[in-house]
């Protein structure tokens, strides 16, 4: 296959689209440079003292690992200087990250999870960086965008993607014209097109869920999981169970092989309330754009993720994503349960 870089692919394939602007291309180039720097650290994590914890906890209340913090700092430092952003938001930071006055600004908004699945860093399991890009609304409220301008309907994303740091480092992203995968060739330091026009199989054979939460799920969720373990499936046999515990890795496998990843709402023993774990703006929404562009679906079990308008920056949602038939089956089972309520 002829070697096609990300920049070349953007120019060749987005000719008519507004995404072919130089400003968008430079945003992606800065993201790529950040990922190369993060990849270098991740791949040598076992050799240099970057494993372990910093002693801090993030806005999610999760212990921050050194590589989390490193990745977050790299992205904030580089993207602040990209000259094309008017605001950023990170899974690691409680509030919006504004672009300070003296730095050049643009009209793009970047929301990211700098190192998702980082609890797996020490055991050499694939982890990733997830990103979501919006345009600032034309009606500007002032020099810096307000939180309201950032919390747009998830189908307003102009681009979404992830970097996966595994046996190879890959970039998978969409600008609304299909999903394309690029693999980093360390010998030239370029991401080269390796998976053009990625499409997820309409019917899967794999389900991914952390079944240790069984006792914290509501009955419709238990019905869903029981379905995938039964002979009632479309295959006439139980699906294979695969769960890595790193969203980017589980998602990427299902994108290639077909299947469904589920992170249902679970009951909080203290409050009794049912809540999802995954974050809408920096995890579910970008993955939802990717999967729909690849012919799949993403819901909260019943409602389409891309129809959500976030109520807050770190809103959590139940998340079901993957092969169209499988996500629709979940909706049928949960919808029937709702009808019975
Ligand atoms: P659990 C990693 O912390 C993460 O945010 C996702 O990458 C992953 O899918 C999920 O949490 C795993 O959560 O509760 O199964 O350990």
pLDDT means per 10 residues in the chain (341 residues)? Answer: 86 66 88 95 69 70 78 95 94 92 90 91 90 89 86 97 96 96 94 97 97 98 98 97 97 98 96 96 98 98 98 98 98 80 54
* Two structure tokens written together for 106: 């643009």
94: which residues sit within 8 A by CB, 6+ positions away?
59, 313, 314
* Two structure tokens written together for 104: 């050049």
Name the residue at shortest CA distance from atom 1 of ligand 1. 245
Residue 267 Cα to ligand 1 middle (Å): 16
**According to the annotation, is 113 in a ligand binding site?**
yes
Residue 118 Cα to ligand 1 middle (Å): 9
Supply the DSSP symbol for 128.
Answer: E
Q: pTM for the full model?
A: 0.94
Burial environment of residue 266 by CB neighbours within 10 A (0 to 12, 13 to 18, 19 or more): buried
Q: What angle, rounded to 10 degrees, do the helices at 324-340 and 219-228 form?
A: 140
Residue 176 Cα to ligand 1 middle (Å): 27
Strand 127-135 versus strand 108-116 pairing type: antiparallel
**According to the annotation, is 115 in a ligand binding site?**
yes
Per-residue model confidence (pLDDT) at position 162: 98
**According to the annotation, is 149 in a ligand binding site?**
no
Strand 240-241 versus strand 260-263 pairing type: unpaired
Cα gap 131→110, rounded to integer Å: 7
275: which residues sit within 8 A by CB, 6+ positions away?
265, 266, 268, 316
Q: Is the CB of 247 under 6 A from ligand 1?
A: yes
Per-residue model confidence (pLDDT) at position 58: 74
The per-residue DSSP string of 170-205 comes to EEEEESSS-EEEEEEETTTTEEEEEE-S----SS-S
**CA proximity to 127, closest of 28, 42, 29:** 42
Residue to mutate, 92, 247, 278, 319, ligand 1, most ligand atoms under 8 Å from C-beta: 247
Q: Please provide residue 262's backbone torsions phi and psi, each rounded to the nearest 5 degrees.
A: -130, 130
**According to the annotation, is 118 in a ligand binding site?**
yes
Per-residue model confidence (pLDDT) at position 137: 87
**For residues 233 and 258, is the Cβ–Cβ distance under 8 A?**
no
**CA proximity to 112, closest of 4, 38, 14:** 38
Q: What is the H or E stretch that residue 245 is in?
A: none
**CA proximity to 72, closest of 105, 48, 94:** 94
Reported ipTM exceeds the 0.90 cut: yes
Per-residue model confidence (pLDDT) at position 282: 98
Supply the DSSP symbol for 228.
Answer: H
Per-residue model confidence (pLDDT) at position 17: 59
Burial environment of residue 118 by CB neighbours within 10 A (0 to 12, 13 to 18, 19 or more): buried
């Amino acid at each position: 296959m002829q070697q096609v870089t990300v920049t070349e692919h953007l120019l060749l394939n987005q000719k008519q689209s507004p995404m072919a602007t130089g400003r968008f291309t430079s945003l992606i180039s800065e993201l790529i440079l950040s990922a190369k720097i993060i990849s270098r650290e991740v791949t040598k994590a076992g050799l240099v003292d970057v494993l372990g914890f910093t002693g801090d906890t993030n806005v999610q209340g999760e212990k921050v690992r050194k590589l989390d913090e490193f990745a977050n700092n790299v992205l904030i430092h580089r993207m602040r200087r990209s000259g094309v952003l008017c605001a950023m938001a990170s899974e690691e930071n409680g509030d919006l990250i504004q672009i300070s006055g003296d730095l050049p600004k643009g009209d793009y908004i970047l929301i990211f999870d700098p190192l998702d699945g980082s609890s797996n860093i020490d055991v050499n399991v694939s982890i990733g960086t997830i990103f979501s890009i919006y345009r600032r609304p034309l009606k500007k409220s002032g020099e810096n965008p307000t939180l309201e301008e950032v919390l747009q309907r998830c189908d307003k994303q102009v681009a979404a993607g992830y970097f996966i740091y595994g046996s190879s480092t890959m970039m998978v992203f969409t600008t609304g014209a299909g999903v394309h995968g690029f693999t980093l060739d360390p010998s030239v330091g370029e991401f080269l097109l390796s998976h053009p026009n990625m499409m997820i199989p309409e019917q899967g054979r794999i389900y991914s869920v952390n079944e240790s939460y069984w006792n914290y799920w509501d009955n419709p969720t238990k019905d869903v999981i029981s379905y995938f373990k039964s002979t009632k499936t479309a295959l006439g046999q139980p699906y294979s169970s695969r769960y890595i515990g790193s969203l980017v890795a589980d998602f990427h496998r299902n994108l290639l092989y077909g299947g469904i990843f589920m992170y249902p709402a679970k009951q909080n023993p203290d409050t009794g309330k049912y809540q999802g774990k995954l974050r809408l703006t920096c995890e579910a929404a970008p993955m939802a754009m990717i999967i729909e562009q690849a012919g799949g679906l993403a819901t909260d079990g019943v409602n389409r993720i891309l129809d959500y308008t976030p109520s807050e920056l770190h809103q959590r949602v139940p998340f079901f994503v993957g092969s169209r038939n499988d996500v629709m089956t979940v909706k049928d089972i949960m919808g029937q349960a709702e009808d019975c309520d």
